[in-house]
Amino acid sequence: MEAAHCQPPPREKWLLTEELVIRPLHSGDIYASFQFRTLWDTDFMRENKVSHYRLFPKSLGQVISKFSVRELHISFTQGYWRTMQWGQPFIPSPPGAELWVWFQDSVTDVDATWKELTNVLSGIFCASLNFIDSTNTVQPSASFKPLGLGNVTDHSFLRYATLPREIVCTENLTPWKKLLPCGSKAGLAVLLKSEKLFHSSFHSQAVHIRSVCQDWQCKTTSWELRQTLNSVFDLHNSGQTKREWSLFKMFSRTLTEACPLASSSKLYIDITDNPQGEQFELSPATSLLSQAVVLGDRRTFSVYDLTQETTFGTVRSLNLLIRWKSNEGEMLRPLLHAERYVAGYGLQTGEIHTLMYNNHPYRSFPVLLLDSVPWYLRLYIHTLSVTSKGKDNKPSYIHYEPSKDRVKPHLLEMLIQLPPNSVTEVTVQFERALLKWTEYPPDPNHGFYVGSSVISSLVPSTVAMHTNSTRERPLFSSFFPCKEESSYFVRIYTEPLLVNLPTPDFSMPYNVICLTCTVVAVGYGSLYNLLTRSFQIEEPNPGLAKRIANVIRRMRGVPPL
Amino acid sequence: NINPCVQIIIHLLSVISQNSAGQFFSSGHTNNWAVLVCTSRFWFNYRHVANTLSVYRSVKRLGIPDSHIVLMLADDMACNHRNPKPATVFSHKNMELNVYGDDVEVDYRGYEVTVENFLRVLTGRLPPSTPRSKRLLSDDRSNILIYLTGHGGNGFLKFQDSEEISNVELADAFEQMWQKRRYNELLFIIDTCQGASMYERFYSPNIMALASSQVGEDSLSHQPDLAIGVHLMDRYTFYMLEFLEDIHPASKTNMNDLFKVCPKSQCVSTPGHRTDLFLRDPGSVLITDFFGSVRKVELTMDAINLTDPINPVNGEEQKEVYSYADQLPVSEIIHQKPKQKDWHPPDGFILGLWTLILLVFFKTYGIKHLKHIF
């Protein structure tokens, strides 16, 4: 009998996976994370023309091929992620808009390509990304290594920019939803209703494009497009009295079917803190359980597979209900978190303090701090100090690029080793600049934003991480590639800062013009009159009687009166 | 080879009767555009954003697609932190009608709404990298609706509390548009205080203008909503929205009905209009000529040859093995060589300074030292 040849089924050129992870938080809030991933086995660079875009959106495909993009990450966030109350997010993002791009090494003028790319993206996402220019773009020298494949990491092809002031609203969600293969008509995307999503404590939507391995041999690559949406819904803000969440309460919709184009459509509920069901109750019950190692911890999830008809039951719709029974339980303290604030008084000088907390009892780990400060806050780098536990902590790597007025911002990157169970404080003094009066925005008294600091770190993990990057892992655990088992990569963002710059009185030009014109008119006018006025004697006008008498006298030939 | 469009038209004309062909080209426009601008910033100017969004909503409902609408909102009211119902902008009190909707695309927002950008959009003089959604790509067969709202005065309209556009500038911009053949007919609607002053100076043909108040009068707001805390709409646009809600894509209502919207009893100010520059009689101009986009469909029975599809060439497999980059390679970072700074030739100042120093040296000590150096 000859051995049967087991051919693997021919792999689809396009693959769509969608998933929603719901994690109940200890404060009563609930964290929902959507991820939609489209994999496309093609190579934009080798094939000169691609004409058939099936699941991959054409607008992004054309952007990638026209601007020779190797990796693109763009995120729009409203709100600030509170690490101490909510733990670590699956996909971190800073408040406002953030864009970082790795270009291919075939690009000759990276700055011009970057400027064109930001303009095109501002049209696609209806955001004012065209405000990204050389005054807020930096080129990090060690942070933001590519998340996708590639053997060359020359940082001159990397650009990073944030717009902390950028607002996220329905006009950004609409084009984001239009990029999905099923739109917002089927699958998990039906839950994305703007009225509920923006009535939340935190909302972040992002698009990540990178190239990944097609299989474990990694000889060929495919393009991966991940669209992620993270939301944290507030218990009290939504007007609830009981501690109970359901899909209908969160999104005002229920699930009725999976996206027909998706090969996998799953809903995960984090039940790690609820092994026997003593904390909260989940209905409808499901027998599917899955375990995944994510963020350095092994978590257990209840899984609802939307591609199965049985998930929806007899009512043909899935409305998940999570009802709390008890209020106990402590959240695991995150190992790394950071804060940043401005100290000082007055409108001349100030001090930026960044605090980084290492909550691990005995392990120390390195963090890479990236700070990009606009040029109008002139940093005094000689006052930079890094202290841990009261003692000086010298960073093993410092990269500083000074700013140039109106051309580029400050860039400060430091690699600091955080000692165990400690607080590390980084302080630097600055002076505020006086801008030209045309450079102020229409509402200058609101203040000026300084983008969040980025802290990248390899945090020791409690369980062994998976280093084998196969495709069977759920999406939320496979975002950051893992090289070693004992630690996992994490990126956290600090708060953005809002500083007041000395603001002039904008009515002064009007005042000056009025005053000058008045002084000139009064002063010069009177002088001119004095110099050029000549006096003439004029007879007063005689009365009517006299005039008639003069007429009669003239007729008589007698001289007038 | 004759242009295939011309071929289709010739074929069409030969098949259908003369009457239908005449009807086909009677109104003179083949596409519709809309430029809707709200020029006010800050939360208490909620009503101006609601005005613009209600016109946007009507225009979209009557058929103009987002690609043909340039929407400029100077501030964000829907996701403003003061809004008790985020992602909504209401036009009627008690939150009856959400004009923001679920499918809105704002092209210029926030600080981008400036006089310069507005005039560049109108005249088409935009930088080459501007995306299509931010451009007014009209031609000489386009009917354009331009709607402005905000705070204004006699002869000017204020943009974002920091600059203004005058009626002369606006008239000149329209003249540029006429000279560049960028419109067929233009409908200009303005809802500000003393709005009629803005159309006084127009001098280009085919413009019809409407304003919410005469010179010397203020346009008033309609009603506040106590839950939101601000006035929701201006009176003129409120009654205009009510009028437009009755229009559907096949309506035959004409401009004379639009002129009658909001009489003095409802509006307190006297709305004005100007039609002397317009060639057609306002009674024969349909509302849908400007607010709707009635597209004409051409039917053809001919087969059209498409080009051959591009067959992707399968290259040989790369023998190179790829791998993911290390996210935080600590040792590599510590031993990173500093970037070689590009060498720039010395500045003029430095050169001048050194020349001065050398001159002083040689003057003091005499020229005989020169031979020791060279």
Percent of chain B residues topping a pLDDT of 90: 55
Cβ-proximal residues to B342 (8 Å cutoff; 6+ apart), any chain: none
Q: What is the mean pLDDT of residues B330-336?
A: 84
pLDDT of residue A419: 94
**Cβ distance of A119 and B87 shorter than 8 Å:** no
Is the model's pLDDT at B6 over the cut of 70? no
The residue in chain B having the minimum alpha-carbon distance to the alpha carbon of residue A221 is: B322
pLDDT of residue A4: 47
B104, B318, B329: residue with CB nearest A174: B104
pLDDT of residue A3: 45
Residue ranges in chain A modelled with pLDDT below 50: 1-4, 7-8
Q: Report how far residue B30's alpha carbon sits from residue B184's, in angstroms, rounded to the nearest whole number.
A: 9
Contacts of A415 in chain B (CB under 8 A): 330, 333-334
Determine contact: B270 vs chain A, CB below 8 A. Answer: no
Which ranges of A342-476 does DSSP label H, i.e. alpha helix? Answer: none
Q: What is the mean pLDDT of residues B185-202?
A: 94
**CA nearest neighbour of A452 among A161, A115, A222:** A161
Instruction: Name the residue with higher pLDDT: B58 or A284.
Output: B58
**CA nearest neighbour of A266 among A552, A17, A558, A529:** A17
Q: How far is B316 from chain A (nearest CA, A)?
A: 10
What average pLDDT does chain B have? 86
pLDDT of residue B315: 57
pLDDT of residue A2: 45
pLDDT of residue A11: 60
- 3-state class (DSSP) for residue A549: helix
Determine contact: B160 vs chain A, CB below 8 A. Answer: yes
- 3-state class (DSSP) for residue A548: helix
Q: List pLDDT tens digits, range B133-165.
A: 999 999 998 999 999 999 999 999 999 988 999
Contacts of A149 in chain B (CB under 8 A): 322-324
pLDDT of residue B21: 47
Q: Report how far residue B50's alpha carbon sits from residue A270's, in angstroms, rounded to the nearest whole number.
A: 42
| Residue with the two structure tokens 């010395």 | B346
Quote ipTM for the complex. Answer: 0.86
pLDDT of residue A178: 93
pLDDT of residue A323: 87
Q: List pLDDT tens digits, range B75-105.
A: 999 999 999 989 999 988 777 889 998 889 9
Q: List pLDDT tens digits, range B121-133.
A: 999 999 998 999 9
**Cβ distance of B322 and A151 shorter than 8 Å:** yes
B185-191: strand order across its sheet: B108-109, B69-73, B31-38, B142-149, B185-191, B207-211, B272-274
Testing the interface with B: which of A54, A66, A122 to mutate, by most B Cβ within 10 A? A122
pLDDT band (50, 70, 90) for residue B362: confident
Options B38, B48, B193, B222, the catalytic residue:
B193
Q: List pLDDT tens digits, range B24-48.
A: 455 678 899 999 999 999 999 999 9
Q: List pLDDT tens digits, range B237-278.
A: 999 999 999 999 888 899 999 999 988 888 888 999 999 999
| Residue with the two structure tokens 């899935």 | A318
The residue in chain A having the minimum alpha-carbon distance to the alpha carbon of residue B163 is: A442
Exposure string for A375-390, b = 16+ CB within 10 A, e = fewer: bbbbbeeeebebebee
* 3-class SS string, chain B: CCCHHHHHHHHHHHHCCHHHHHHHCCCCCCEEEEEEEECCCCHHHHHHHHHHHHHHHHHHHCCCCHHHEEEEECCCCCCCCCCCCCCCCECCHHHCCECCCCCCCCCEEHHHCCHHHHHHHHHCCCCCCCCHHHCCCCCCCEEEEEEEECCEECCEEEECCCEEEEHHHHHHHHHHHHHCCCCCEEEEEEECCCHHHHHCCCCCCCEEEEECCCCCCCCCECCECCCCCCECCEHHHHHHHHHHHCCCCCCCCEHHHHHCCCCHHHHCCCCEEECCCCCCCHHHCECHHHHCCCCCCCCCCCCCCCCCCCCCCCCCCCCCCCCECCCCCHHHHHCCCCCCCCCCCCCHHHHHHHHHHHHHHHHHHCHHHHHHHC
B151 is catalytic: yes
pLDDT of residue A277: 76
- 3-state class (DSSP) for residue A398: strand
Contacts of B313 in chain A (CB under 8 A): 47
Contacts of A486 in chain B (CB under 8 A): none
Query: Is the Cβ–Cβ distance between A164 and A95 less than 8 Å?
Result: yes
pLDDT of residue A269: 92
pLDDT of residue A153: 80
Determine contact: A470 vs chain B, CB below 8 A. Answer: no
Q: Report how far residue A27's alpha carbon sits from residue A41's, in angstroms, rounded to the nearest whole number.
A: 43
Cβ-proximal residues to A546 (8 Å cutoff; 6+ apart), any chain: A561
**Cβ distance of B131 and A123 shorter than 8 Å:** yes
B193 is catalytic: yes
**Cβ distance of B104 and A170 shorter than 8 Å:** yes
Contacts of B312 in chain A (CB under 8 A): 42, 47, 50
Which tokens is A435 given?
Answer: 């801008």
